Each structure stands twice: as structure tokens, then as C-alpha cells.
Amino acid sequence: MHMRILESLLELQAIDKLLFDLQRNMQLPTDAKQQADRIRRARSTMEKVEAQHGKQKLDRRKLMRAINRKHAELRECELQFATVKTIAEYDTLQTDIEELRSSIATRESELLTATQALDALRTGIRERRQQLTDLQTRYDAPATLRRSKLAVLDAQLSELHSKRDVVIHSVDPKLLELYNRTRGRGGIRIAATRRGACGCCFQQLPPQNLNEARHATRPITCDHCSCLVVWDEHSQSKP
Ligand SMILES: [Zn+2]
């Protein structure tokens, strides 16, 4: 009786171990996750720089329009010289013109700074765009590979599930329920006894549990790794 239970459970476990390994294989590798994060960060930085560039361009355009307005005002003032009648009028006009010239000079210097900043931003965007393309290229090749690998693993997964469906019919429902509830290590949920110890974690089993496993009075689980423990006649266990 023990051997038959053990055999069907071990068969089930062999399938579950394969399923466990397969599912772990299907998880995205950490470096791929890091790479995807890096791409996301690079894209967000680039978008920020692009927004900054857009704002800077707008500010520069405003500045140019202001300069043009001042130039128009200056031309108007200069034309007024022809109609000046008094010294006082002449002096006022002269002051206005000086103020306009100084204001134009200040704005032109601001325009120069803005133009330089805009150039720097444009270079920054170009560099970041290249950086992003490089990252994307490096990421895309393994991603394609991963997708094709995943398709193969997916097929293996459904094949294992069908096999599992067949095997569980030969396992006692109560035992199956217990097996499904058991949480073992690395996909191992059932272990044969080994020299009075659990065959999964090799911790010694209490004599009472060992006895019960031997006589199959009730299903025994290991207190240490929570594996389902099945008595194995060939394990030279001490009773
Ligand atoms: Zn154990």
C-alpha cells in the first residue's frame, strides 16, 4: 500500500517539480527588468529636457518680439527729431532714445544667453535620444529571444498540465488535497523517510511521527520543511 501511494505521489511530484522549474524559467530575468527600468527612466528624462526646450524656445521668441517692438519705438523716436521745436523737447527725446537703446542692449544680451541655452538643450536632446536608441537596441534583441523561448515553455507547460490531470486520478482524493495544501521547498512537497529523517530537509523526525508514517495511521508532515513524509522500506530507517 505504501509503495503504491508513494509511486503515484512521487510521479505527481516529479511533474510538479518540472512545473515549478518551468514557471521559474518563465519569469522575467532581473537584468531584463533593470534594463526596462533604465529605458523608462531615460525616456522620462528626455521628455523633461524636451519640455524645457519647448519652454525655452517660447521665451526666446517672446524676447525677440520685445526687441523688435523696441526697435520700432526707437525708429519712431528718431523720426521725431525732424519735428523737434525746443531744446527741452530735444533733451526728452534724447533721453528716451538712450533708454530704448540701453533696453535693447540688455534684451539682446538676454537673447544671446537664451540662444546658447537653447543650443545646449538641443545637444542634450540629441545625446539623450541616441542613448535611448542604444538602450532600446540592447534590450530588444534579448526581448525577442525571450518571447520565442516563452512560446516553447508555454507549450511545455500545457503538456505538463495535461499529464498532471491524468496522474491525479490515481491519487487518493484526501491525500491529494493534503498534497496540494503542502508547501515544500523548491517545488518538493513529498519526501520519503531517510534514516529516520525527512528526505527533503534531512531533519530528524520525532519517533512518534516516524512510527505513524511507518504504519500509515495518518499522513505525516515534516515540522521543519512541511513536506509530506512517506515511509520508505528501503531507507534503513530506525523504527
Ligand atoms: Zn523536512
Instruction: Kindly write down the DSSP assignment for every residue of 15-70, as one continuous string.
Output: HHHHHHHHHHHHSPPHHHHHHHHHHHHHHHHHHHHHHHHHHHHHHHHHHHHHHHHH
Residue 9 CA to ligand 1 centre (angstroms): 16
Residue 239 has pLDDT above 50, yes or no: no
Residue 194 has pLDDT above 90, yes or no: no
Residue 164 CA to ligand 1 centre (angstroms): 24
Residue 64 is predicted with a pLDDT of 97
Residue 11 CA to ligand 1 centre (angstroms): 19
And the C-alpha cell for 177? 488535497
Could you name the CATH architecture of 27-168?
Orthogonal Bundle (1.10)
And the C-alpha cell for 121? 538643450
Residue 232 CA to ligand 1 centre (angstroms): 15
Q: What is the pLDDT of residues 40-74, one digit of tens each?
A: 999 999 999 999 999 999 999 999 999 999 999 99
SS3 4: helix
Residue 201 has pLDDT above 90, yes or no: no
* Bridge partners (DSSP) listed for residue 229: 191, 220
Q: Where in the chain is the domain with CATH 1.10.287.1700?
A: 27-168
Residue 1 CA to ligand 1 centre (angstroms): 22
And the C-alpha cell for 214? 511507518
49 residue type, one letter:
V
**229 touches 205 (CB < 8 A):** yes
Residue 122 has pLDDT above 80, yes or no: yes
Residue 196 CA to ligand 1 centre (angstroms): 11
Residue 1 is predicted with a pLDDT of 43
CA pseudo-torsion sign 179, 183, 186, 191 = negative
DSSP state of 230: E
Mean pLDDT, all residues of the chain = 87
Residue 192 CA to ligand 1 centre (angstroms): 10
And the C-alpha cell for 185? 521547498
**202 touches 164 (CB < 8 A):** no
Measure the CA–CA gap between 106 and 116, rounded to whole angstroms: 16
Residue 228 CA to ligand 1 centre (angstroms): 8
Residues 6 or more apart in contact with residue 146 via CB below 8 angstroms:
28, 32
**160 touches 13 (CB < 8 A):** no
> Rg (Cα) of the chain, in Å, rounded?
40
Mean pLDDT of 5-15: 80
Between the CA of residue 169 and those of 157, 162, 164, 219, what are the distances in Å? 19, 12, 9, 19
Residue 4 is predicted with a pLDDT of 65
Residue 216 is predicted with a pLDDT of 76
Residue 8 is predicted with a pLDDT of 80
Residue 186 has pLDDT above 80, yes or no: no
* Bridge partners (DSSP) listed for residue 191: 229
Split at pLDDT 50, 70, 90, the class of 121 is very high
What does pTM read for this prediction?
0.51
Q: For 189, phi and psi rounded to 5 degrees?
A: -120, -10
Q: What is the pLDDT of residues 162-178, one digit of tens each?
A: 999 999 888 888 888 88
Residue 110 CA to ligand 1 centre (angstroms): 76
Q: What is the pLDDT of residues 155-166, one digit of tens each?
A: 999 999 999 999
